[in-house]
Amino acid sequence: MKAFIPTDSPRTTGPAVRLAEVAEPVQQSDQALIKVEAYSVNRGETFVLERPPVGWRPGKDVAGLVVQAAPDGSGPAVGCRVVAHPPALGWAEYVAVPTTALAPIPDHLTAATAAALPLAGLTALRLLRAAARHTGHLAGRRILLTGASGGVGHYVTELAAAAGARLTAVSASAERGARLLELGADQVVPTVAAAEGPFDLVLESTGGANLPLALDRLAPRGLLLWFGQASRQPVTLDFFSILNGPVSATIQQFSYADVDGPDGPDLATLVRLTADGQLHPELGTVRDWTRTAEVLDELRERRIRGNAVLTVS
């Protein structure tokens, strides 16, 4: 079968993949074999592609058709359309996925839309869940979201607004900011420095100079959840400055993979919200999978708003 693999000599200036013939997946007892119809590309994968692990192939967000059910009898039957979140290997014609990491999708939901859900949607859903554990609820809470223009930012904005939060989104693009307002953001500002606190919660994904600026805008006993470093710049914190900042602030690192239980139930929640019209995946581009390398470069350079989806022809 055909699949995208890292090139033999990855460039340090950008991602590099090539379409190649690879062995077909060998199912484990708890895995369904999926014929991939669409997959989503994440910016984090572009970073891994700069220095890929030996034997690794990218692909964490896929949607397609079950062509072989799991040998142990778990999961969906042959012919079921599903969205899945494998750990890797998804940029291919076929992929084997644990049945605990997939969810059925209804007929009216396109494969391209479903493929945009897993990584970004799971991150947003679990990020707000972690925030709610700290605050008790999100209704009425003031939230500052940095790096809001990507797929995660769009999902966070819509989910937070639906929960009754007052969200200030940071986006340097006026066009992207307008879309965030449509999705329910209370306010959009071009920089963290322009955000007027205090905020009960800060959801910080850019790192560099933005994290200390965002921390300064926390309310007393507020929480900063750090879930990314899109700027790729290290964070420097002045602890003397922190002592003069928000009282009893909490800084907590967040990983969407740090959960008790499988991905399937949360994927099913995202599918239900999308199918019911309560969640709207932002498809920044949908192209044929032969253009994957081109999309990777655009994604890494932040020229795509929302999710980038490739359809397997």
Per-domain residue ranges of the chain: 2-117+281-311, 120-253
For the domain spanning 2-117+281-311, the CATH number is 3.90.180.10
State residue 297's pLDDT score: 87
State residue 44's pLDDT score: 84
Domain 120-253, CATH among 3.40.50.720, 3.30.310.80, 3.30.70.1290, 3.40.190.10: 3.40.50.720
- Please give the average per-residue pLDDT across 154-178, as a whole number: 94
Q: 285 near 295, Cβ under 8 Å?
A: yes
pTM: 0.92
Q: 22 near 5, Cβ under 8 Å?
A: yes
Q: 111 near 90, Cβ under 8 Å?
A: no
* Tens of pLDDT, residues 20-34: 999 999 999 999 999
Cβ contacts of 257 within 8 Å, gap of 6 or more: none
Angle, CA of 111, 116 and 119, to the nearest 5°: 130
Question: Strands (DSSP E) along 71-227, which ranges?
Answer: 81-84, 94-98, 102-104, 142-145, 166-170, 187-189, 199-204, 218-226
- Please give the average per-residue pLDDT across 9-30, as a whole number: 81
